[in-house]
Amino acid sequence: MTKSIVAFQGEPGAYSEQAIRQHFGAEANTLPCRDFSDIFASVHDGRAAYGMLPVENSLAGTVIPAYDLLVDHDLRVQAEAIVRVEHCLMAPPGVKLTDIKRVKSHHQALAQCVQTLKRMGLEPVDYYDTAGAARDLAANPETGTAVIASELAAQTYGLDILARNVEDLDFNYTRFFVLGRDDPPRQDPSKTSIIFTTRHVPGALFSVMQELAERGINMTKIESRPRLNRPWHYRFYVDFEGHENDTAVQEAMLGILKKASFLKVLGSYPAARIK
């Protein structure tokens, strides 16, 4: 598995690449992509065997563009990976923490470190990407400037880590889907992810969810997104415990299919544990 190419969005050293190395091993071959749609394209056309797609952050919530793409493509969820986001403050070799006046990073990373930066008296500067900020600072050092990125980014671009865990809150995790063209071998405990739409009538969503509840199936996530072709109508994304080959899950899926106007199973896959 470690010899397979895994696509991800971002520059080398991104948290998505860290997720790949955590899941597939340190020697995994990776393929950086410009955006999320390129991840899907690279797996579809065979340039990559798998894609690592961020779908949810414990602080920022759902990664909406990623979920929207899951509707339009037929890749299957192979696994989920949960990565602890540990932001590091880094600068070129020889720079000291006392030299730093400003910090560049992606706006979401800066938002997760706002109190720490304020306490340190550092000015946040928005940049398009965490790993991209690290790469560009390594190539063109700026006086008084550091970046916030992953430890992998520091290793990738030869930057010194001046401070670790500069995020304001400890419970910062990002959940990823590992995408592929086929279904993975079963490993328990399993989870299943589905997308469905309901008829626009009272109790429609309750009726669908009842199919899971009546069979003792535990739902772990529900998310709604507007349907682009139907104003004020919504798609629902649901994760629940169990495998699509389980009798109870098959019965629930049959019940949902009868009550929903659209149903897509994204896959059943091994449930990840927080490390």
3-state secondary structure 202-237: CCHHHHHHHHHHCCCCCEEEEEEEEECCEEEEEEEE
C-alpha span between 167 and 172 (Å, rounded)? 8
Handedness of CA 91, 133, 129, 112 (dihedral sign): positive
Tokens standing for 218?
A: 């535990």
Contact between residue 129 and residue 16 where contact means Cβ atoms under 8 Å apart = no
DSSP string, 20-89: HHHHH-TT-EEEEESSHHHHHHHHHTTS-SEEEEEEEETTTEE-HHHHHHHHH---EEEEEEEEE---EE
**Which residue out of 24, 36, 176, 240 is catalytically annotated?**
176
**176 catalytically annotated:** yes
Q: Which of 116, 174, 197, 198 is catalytic?
A: 174
174 catalytic residue (yes or no): yes
Catalytic residues: 174, 176
